[in-house]
Structure 1
Amino acid sequence: MRADRLVATLLLMQDRGRVTAAEVARELEVSVATARRDLEALSAAGVPVYPQPGRGGGWSLVGGARTDLSGMTATEAQALFLLLGPAGADTPEAQAALRKLLAALPRPFRAEARAAAGAVVVDPAGWGDPLPERPELVAALRDAVVRGRRVRLDYAGRTRERTSRLIDPWGLVDKDGIWYLVAGTAEGRRTFRVDRIASAEVTDEEAARPAELDLSAEWDEVVEEVERRRSLVSAVVLVDARLVRVLRGQFGRHCVVLAERDGQARVQVAAPTPLMIAQHLAGWGAGLSVVESTAVRAELARIGRELVGHYCDDIEST
């Protein structure tokens, strides 16, 4: 897991003072390219790690070798835990590494470092097309989460009607390129799409945050509620096993491999309506077969007839 590697890389640098990517790769049993990416990620996140080019160069910690993290500033500690937090949520081993690293920080930095580690969740399964770039407000909202400050939002919901509300930010979720803010409000937990936030003013008021809040668990509940409301329907398709990853790119978490044999995969896909499933599958042509769901097969047939009727005259005239 990447969180384990990043922590191990940092501790290795503290022990030796200066390392090369090749040394890190050898110690952690990864490729040199992976080790170099990890070192660059630490540096880009604001951790005091920098490269020294030339003969005898390598990567060093500002201030030289140290046996603990007492030399880190509050900003550097937050940067490190913001980087490690999403990566560390996957396994108990990664979480244990983060706890050990947290214990090594100076006591005044621990609260905000702990908040930074839980400030962002990454959910790779999309609900729609990802945004071309990250909304500018993400950094300010993330800072409010880490510092524990209330935020006044001007928000345009699905109806596009703007409302103003004072919220307690709990954390941010990157769902396949679309960012969401999970927050406490006077009406309970609410979720806001960041790209629909017209403005956000971080106040000096201390935010209320539930004790032992687990942002990943909160987000799982949000996803379950949303998908229950969407009343998903499913279909089973047969496809070349090598192309399952493409199908998963279209359906995200709603793509489940049921069986695989002789190079063919039997896959269940789901969406809110049969038409939405058919729209995703129509572009495959005869590249896959829908073997279960009469409704989806009917929608595919209708789309096919519609396309033939629309383009047939053009084809015959050429």
Structure 2
Amino acid sequence: MRRLPVVFGALLLGSCWALAEPGRHWQAAGPDEKPWSGSIAREVQEFAVEQKPTAIMVVRDDDIVASFGDLGAKVNVRSVRKSLLSALYGIAVEDGRINLDSTLAALEIDDVPPALSPAEKTATVLQLLMARSGVYHLASYETGLMKQGRPARESHPPGSFWYYNNWDFNALGTIYRQSVDDVFASFEKRIGRPVGMEDFSAADGVYVKESSSSHPAYVFRMSARDLARFGLLFLNGGRWNGAQLIPAQWVTASTTRVSDAEQPGRGYGYLWWTFSSARSDISGFFASGYGGQLIVVVPSKRLVLVELVDLAVNKQGIRTQRFLDLVDKISASVP
């Protein structure tokens, strides 16, 4: 079985901090405790009035520094689902249930006609996690941009080219169900309950299948306050209340840039995005979903920031970069 690469810098970054987790309910930091929080609250309020998110949450360690909207409202988190699945993969690899070197052929993964070619079936689980499978079959739950940008079948050998590919992400869901268990039940059992999520249950997940592919999308509905716990779990290297829920090595490897993305300063790991600001020395990683669904982690500032947008209410959504700009401003205000 493949051993995960170790990236010492990210692990060492968190090692000098005492881990902190919220109790059953989140607590808000008072101005006496964090005097710099007032300016952050104003930034969040101004952003919310202009952009109209459903909820925003800014967390430093285990305290809410600023928030807006209904933190318990459950929203379709879109492609944030992929980062949630990445965490489950880290656990499954550690448990010996999934081998990163297994090929699609070995796992008997195929699709509706036109079926996968022998060359496409040489793609490995790790290559799917990195969005480098080279399998450009039609996929469920694609956006128009995904469909327009999809390369031709067999135009790139597995492992040679990065393309943000819903086929990879959905097939990973199939592999997980085949090798371990239901995605949503596993998430509730292995992550949701241990970190004390207040709103999520397996019933909040649904599989969306289209005729174009045999691999359904696994769609999560989650609240901002539950996503903040997930972000804090990753900020703390996969530990919660003294228990190592996700292997620390996986947390580091999955949130480290493997490929450069099209947008300046952004990269991609194992179903997580990475970023570095063009205006400051702030960097981190984030989960991102269409329309403004985001979990952003800034390790150097011990920050987790969440944005959710109900697209039935705000049909235009919010561009990812707008929230990352807010993250930059907030990070600059935190000592």
Larger radius of gyration: 1
Structure 2 length-normalised TM: 0.20
* Higher-RCO chain (CA-CA 8 Å, sequence separation at least 6): 2
Q: Which protein is richer in strand relative to its size? A: 1
Q: Which protein is richer in helix relative to its size? A: 1
